[in-house]
Amino acid sequence: MVREKEEGQAKWNWRRLLIVGFAGAVLITSVVHSRKSLPSGVSLDGPVRPVGDLEFLFDITAGPRDTGIVEQEIFHRVFSMISEAQEFVVLDMFLFNGSTGGEAAYRSLSSELTDSLVVWMGRGGERRAVFITDEINTFYGAVPSPELERLEAAGVQVVTTRLSRLRDSNPIFSGVWRVALQWFGTGGPGWLPNFLTSSGERVPARAYLKLLNFKANHRKLIVTDEECLVASANPHDGSARHSNIGFAGSGPICGDILDGEKAVAGFSGAVVEDWPVYRDGVPAVEGSSQDLSQADESAPDSLRAIPGGSHGEGTVQLVTEGKILEAVLSSLETAGPGHSVDLAMFYLSSRRVVQGLLEASARGATVRLILDPNKDAFGRQKGGIPNRPVAQELVRESGGRIQVRWYDTHGEQFHTKLVRVAGSETTEVIGGSANLTRRNTGDFNLEADLRFVLPSSAPLALATGDYFEEIFQNRDSPYTLPYQAYADDGMIKVIRYRIEEFTGLCSY
């Protein structure tokens, strides 16, 4: 009896030791991978460059689906850039697939981009194309991507970002995943629905477990030997009607963007010794930059007439990952009496940005926001988090001084990411791929924005200002709704948003 008791106690001690050891391994892994050093070339603020001929682009969808406005410039420009490239094309795109959330009447952006690159590669000669993308397009390795397979067959170098090299934004789960789950892979037959397609395709539960790490290469950009573009738009069929912004042109900034992509390709396992070079920031063909946007004739003249080119006035700088947050906060700190702070954003949840907006308003700056109501996501309904509880806090805490309007979406999203701080002499503009959230600007996701410091009379400063005023003031079209349309003071949403933003247990 004593011996059996001793054996039972020994077994319990071993079990307890294993449990404690596993918990300790998870805790250590969670801490290490949420704070580890970033790969070289990530989270950078590049050299300050002359603006050159960079111009402001935008996509606008407004009004009901059948009778509203759809004006798109960004991918018209992307396709033109590919067609006119002579030596190389490097793209980094987050969502790149034909999913539409169950609805078919969308532009086939993913196929159009694939066709464009395949045709370009087929012209012969010394050509180099690199396509960097995110694992979500193969559902984290569970299913093949027909678009990526076509590109590889055409000779395009496809680089899937090695997300495990990035910090973990959801450490509560990622520690368990790294210690116990990642070793099982994501391939093989599945039984869960693939939310990227309505074809009935199934994926393994292991792919969803990898998804729950909530990390991404969220960049959207292209560099050729002649031009570059940084935007908020994805070549994704289900995103084809989204409203977006971007900046395109030539100059030394293109070399900085290309260097940033070399870093991503390098830590993702690609060979980069023979990486393309942007010729010291000088376009291969002088005068090749053109305004190739094909504005929809149904759009209001006032919106289509916004000037774009900056004609060399001011400076521009590449900022990525956490340096985007630093740039935004630095711009907000300059705002006081006589300044206007205009923010157009798909997701706003960063506590530091919220505080920065409140402080700018308290100093006397005029603060205005255009936010997506967070109700539509590729055919699925959402509950308004995080934007509605954040808007409620900003309006309440500022005593109503901060003005909020909601973009009136009809199934699509107001996917813009743009910050503009304007004074009488200087205007700062920050825009690109990054939402103002912990994940997007906290050195977790890969992001790329451009930061402009411009004379307030510069055409690019005026272009971004006219864009914001057009939408905020509903000039010629009902773009936005008043704050009351989606005002929500529900405490449950506030608590949920705060927990999600703090822990990373969310997809934004």
User: 368-388: per-residue pLDDT in tens?
Assistant: 999 999 998 776 778 899 999
Our CA angle for 130, 135, 140, nearest 5°, is: 145
Query: What would the DSSP string read from start to end of 382-446?
Result: ---TTHHHHHHHHHHHTTT-SEEEEE--SSS-B--EEEEEE-SSEEEEEEES--BSHHHHTTSSB
- Indicate the burial class of 388 (C-beta count within 10 angstroms; 0-12, 13-18, 19 or more): buried
Asked whether residue 280 carries a pLDDT value surpassing 80, the answer given is: no
**Strand 88-93 versus strand 128-133 pairing type:** parallel
Predicted confidence (pLDDT) per residue in 408-444, tens digit: 999 899 999 999 999 999 999 999 999 999 999 999 9
Asked whether residue 87 carries a pLDDT value surpassing 70, the answer given is: yes
Cα–chain center distance at 8:
55
> Contacts by 492-496 with C-beta closer than 8 Å and gap 24+?
493/383, 493/384, 493/385, 493/388, 493/389, 494/389, 494/392, 494/393, 496/385
For 241-253, what is the mean pLDDT? 96
Our CA angle for 293, 232, 253, nearest 5°, is: 80
For 201-206, what is the mean pLDDT? 90
**Strand 244-249 versus strand 228-231 pairing type:** antiparallel
- The residue among 284, 237, 240 whose CA lies nearest residue 89 is 284
Cα distances (Å, whole numbers) of residue 129 to 97, 354, 420: 18, 40, 34
Rounded Cα gap, residues 361 and 355, in angstroms:
10
Peptide bond into 386 cis (omega under 30): yes
Cα–chain center distance at 87:
27
- Indicate the burial class of 409 (C-beta count within 10 angstroms; 0-12, 13-18, 19 or more): buried
- The residue among 293, 217, 216, 229 whose CA lies nearest residue 89 is 229
Asked whether residue 265 carries a pLDDT value surpassing 90, the answer given is: yes
The verdict on pTM exceeding 0.85 is yes
R_g of the chain, CA atoms, integer Å: 24
Residues in CB range of 393: below 8 A, 6 or more apart? 354, 494
Lowest-pLDDT range of 22-31, 65-74, 329-338, 361-370: 65-74
Predicted confidence (pLDDT) per residue in 154-194, tens digit: 999 999 999 999 999 999 999 999 999 999 999 888 899 88
pLDDT reported for residue 286? 31
Rounded Cα gap, residues 322 and 444, in angstroms:
8
**Are the C-beta atoms of 204 and 190 separated by less than 8 Å?**
yes
Predicted confidence (pLDDT) per residue in 353-373, tens digit: 999 999 999 999 999 999 999
Asked whether residue 481 carries a pLDDT value surpassing 70, the answer given is: yes
pLDDT reported for residue 306? 44
Residues in CB range of 227: below 8 A, 6 or more apart? 81, 84, 248, 249, 250, 254, 283, 288, 289
Rounded Cα gap, residues 480 and 305, in angstroms:
20
Average pLDDT, the chain: 90
At 145, give phi and psi (nearest 5°): -105, 115
Q: Where are the beta strands (DSSP E) in 200-287?
A: 202-203, 220-224, 228-231, 244-249
Lowest-pLDDT range of 7-16, 166-175, 494-503: 7-16
pLDDT reported for residue 6? 58
In angstroms, the first-to-last Cα distance of the chain is: 58
- The residue among 141, 149, 221, 253 whose CA lies nearest residue 187 is 141
Domains detected in the chain: 49-254 (3.30.870.10), 304-503 (3.30.870.10)
pLDDT tier, 476 (very low <50, low <70, confident <90, very high otherwise)? confident
Rounded Cα gap, residues 500 and 507, in angstroms:
9
pLDDT reported for residue 300? 45
Strand partners of residue 454: 427
Lowest-pLDDT range of 18-22, 398-402, 415-419: 18-22
Asked whether residue 289 carries a pLDDT value surpassing 50, the answer given is: no
Query: What would the DSSP string read from start to end of 18-35?
Result: HHHHHHHHHHHHHHHHHH
**Are the C-beta atoms of 71 and 59 separated by less than 8 Å?**
yes
